[in-house]
């Protein structure tokens, strides 16, 4: 798999939707799908003030790359970009972006769903939820 088809980043600074979109933009493709995960104020009836993400970076990058390669192979993607934040992320801040491009929209939709679902299952990135009355680590498994 050509590395120029895959963009994996785990960053402490804010993520850029434009960077992900521009990476996957390709004249061969008629379908681009973007998933953007943001920090919401309420979760399970409790008020959230912010999130904090930690990761085992070498393994996380390796797992994200495996997901990207599988998505390209399984859905015939042209390109895929997967960016995830670590550190503190405020309300409405972007925690994760998945962008994919393919010849057709159906493959793009399915690949994007596959990528975010797989990321949540296997990538060692952990989320701590800070509430107005305490904090706790969240199990990222669905």
Quick one: average pLDDT of 7-16? 98
Quick one: average pLDDT of 7-29? 98
Q: Tell me: the pLDDT tens digits for 92-115?
A: 999 999 999 999 999 999 999 999
125: which strand partners? 55
Domain boundaries, the chain: 3-133
Looking at domain 3-133, its CATH architecture is Alpha-Beta Complex (3.90)
Give the Cα separation of 118 and 48 in Å (integer): 25
Give the Cα separation of 139 and 50 in Å (integer): 16
Following DSSP, what letter does each residue of 61-90 receive, concatenated? HHHHHHHHHHHHHHHT-SEEEEEEE-EEEE
Confidence of residue 33 (pLDDT cuts 50, 70, 90): very high
pLDDT for 3: 64
Q: How many residues in total does the chain contain? A: 142
Q: Tell me: the pLDDT tens digits for 56-75?
A: 999 999 999 999 999 999 99
Q: Cα torsion for 140, 1, 28, 75, to the nearest 10°?
A: -50
Query: What are 92's two structure tokens?
Result: 């409405």
pLDDT for 2: 57
Quick one: average pLDDT of 113-138? 95
pLDDT for 141: 43
Give the Cα separation of 95 and 48 in Å (integer): 14
Cβ atoms of 73 and 102 closer than 8 Å: no
- Between strands 94-102 and 79-85, the pairing is antiparallel
pLDDT for 67: 98
First vs last C-alpha separation in the chain: 29
Confidence of residue 142 (pLDDT cuts 50, 70, 90): very low
pLDDT for 112: 98
Eight-state DSSP code of residue 14: P
């Amino acid at each position: 798999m050509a590395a120029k088809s895959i963009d994996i980043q785990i960053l402490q600074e804010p993520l850029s939707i434009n960077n992900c979109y521009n990476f996957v933009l390709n004249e061969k493709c008629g379908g681009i799908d973007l998933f953007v995960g943001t920090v919401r104020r309420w979760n399970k009836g409790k008020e959230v003030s912010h999130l904090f993400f930690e990761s085992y970076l070498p393994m996380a990058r390796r797992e994200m790359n495996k997901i990207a390669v599988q998505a390209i192979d399984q859905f015939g993607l042209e390109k895929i970009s997967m960016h995830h934040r670590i550190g503190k992320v405020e309300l409405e801040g972007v925690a994760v972006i998945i962008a994919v491009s393919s010849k057709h929209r159906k493959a793009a939709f399915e690949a994007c769903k596959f990528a975010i679902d797989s990321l949540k299952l296997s990538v060692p990135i952990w989320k701590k939820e800070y509430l107005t009355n305490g904090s706790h680590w969240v199990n990222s498994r669905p």
